[in-house]
Amino acid sequence: MEHRSDKRDLLLPPEPQSVYDTAVLCGRYIKNRAVSVSKAASAAASSIASPRRLPSPSRAGHGHGHVAPHKPSRGHSSTAYLSGVRGVAAVIVFIFHSTWALTPAVDDGYGLWDVNHYVFQLPLLRLVHAGHAMVGIFFLIGGHVNAMKPLQLIRERRHAELVPAVASSLLRRGIRLYMPALVAMLATALLTYVGAFEPARQNLDILKDVFYWPDFHPGRKDTLAATLRDWQHQVFQLMNPWQQPFWSHLDPHLWTVTLEFRASLVVSLSLSAAACCRVGSRLAILTLLALFSLRCDRWEIALFLTGTVLAELDLIRRDAARALPALDMIDVDVEAERDAAPPPRRPAEHRIIQSLAVMLIAVAGMYLMSFPPSHAEETRGFMLIYRWLVPSWTKDPKRYVLGSGAALFMIAVSSSATLQRPFLTATAQYLGTVSYALYIVHGPVLHSVGYVVTPAVLAVTGLETDREWVMGLVLSTVINFAVALGVADVFYRFVDVGSVRAATAFQRMCFQSGY
């Protein structure tokens, strides 16, 4: 007989079991086990005198002696929400770069110097364009995803499979990250050479009152050979994992690729070193490494390692959820199960308190992610946060507060089915699929199309009042995003997917049977 609770969506985080729940389940297991053993002994004794036909495998498969494993909900894995979060974050990064080019208000906090009173500057509401905060989300998810497979092997004590798994990941990681970026940079260089970026350059030179910070615009070379040499130089600088962030004039937004590659190397090395440690020791080592990285002002590595810790905690929670139901389902006799009372649920007050605690963590994380990138130490509502969370040794104060907020938010999302649902929708999942492609192409699209479309739209809506300016900003952003999403979809199908295949082919070519 199948429990109704067995049909629930496995993506929903399980409700924590109390000590009383565990004791009840253990008692039921011992009782049912004793009944089933007694009946089995009686059946064996009677079969000596009168053998009975054994049930067929197909019929036996439906008995309680064989428990079919749970299957994930159709279309989603247990970590599918991470892809949705990443997709939404990529859209927010696009909105940030679209608006940052036109106004400093997206960087300033609400009420700063008594001149910033825009609604989109308010805490929580400013998350719509909080691009800097989304970088922390990217890095946390990157650490989580990179660590999941090695941690699963470690926890299952399949250490013999750990080395080839880590080696395969490292061989594929560089190609997977850099190949799409290098292809996009080459396309940008060639399009710049043929003049595709010149109309936007003219607008940037003439319309000084329209643009605030359009970022580095691709520079045009006189010859094709000079263009290719410049691309080669930019590629070498971008692929150097030992330097600080490099902002290429072909696409300055690709600076995160180098940091992501370097941090993924640290995650693989850290997990290899802690592979044989107990869970508590491994968590302590990863946490200390993250704190040490913060002290060295390597916030991106700290975020990746924090994502690794979150992956470990996710696996602990998942294993605990599987252990207690399995305890109740082993060799359960039909009659005994029929007479057994259902396990008691936690009091409603406990569930409400837990839900409120998770929501409070989520709101706290979102508030910290609303930290203004500029002049936060002078912005009401963030002065104390700046004083408490920003260390004296850092060169980039905002990363420490934004990273802390991103970590709290991801902790809450990973613990709440309610918070996961928006990121499991078809739209969020599609955005997650093309998120890396969107991140890579959105810069060239803005610099070639966006800086032509936006002035044209503003010329129609007007610039005399804030209402006209906001209307033009929103309309141009929608148009530019539609173009960027279309380009990202094509780029994903032909380049991003191709990089995955190329990385897999390279790994297979390098590996030998038995290594």
Structure tokens at 112: 């700063």
**How far is Cα 24 from Cα 7, in angstroms, rounded to an integer?**
22
Burial class of 19 by CB neighbour count within 10 A (0 to 12, 13 to 18, 19+): exposed
Crossing angle between the packed helical segments 398-415 and 80-100, to the nearest 10 degrees = 150
Q: Give the residue carrying structure tokens 């199908």.
A: 493
Structure tokens at 402: 């934004």
- Where along the chain do its domains lie? 15-60, 69-323+333-341+367-510
What are the contacts of 225-230 at 24+ separation with CB within 8 A? 227/189, 227/190, 227/192, 227/193, 228/189, 230/189
Is the distance from CB of 305 to CB of 289 less than 8 angstroms?
yes
**How far is Cα 49 from Cα 42, in angstroms, rounded to an integer?**
12
Per residue of the chain (515 residues), give pLDDT as tens.
434 334 333 333 344 444 344 444 445 544 454 445 444 444 444 443 343 333 333 333 333 333 333 333 445 678 899 999 999 999 999 999 999 988 888 888 888 887 778 888 899 999 999 999 999 999 999 999 999 999 999 998 898 899 899 999 999 999 999 999 999 999 999 999 999 999 999 998 888 888 888 888 888 898 999 999 999 999 999 998 887 778 999 999 999 999 999 999 999 999 999 999 999 999 999 999 999 999 999 999 999 999 999 999 999 988 877 765 555 544 445 445 545 555 555 677 788 888 899 999 999 999 999 999 988 898 998 999 999 999 999 989 999 999 999 999 999 999 999 999 999 999 999 999 999 999 999 999 999 999 999 999 999 998 888 899 999 999 999 999 999 999 999 999 999 999 999 999 998 888 865 55
Our measurement of the distance from residue 364's CA atom to the centroid of its chain's CA atoms, rounded to an integer in Å, reads 19
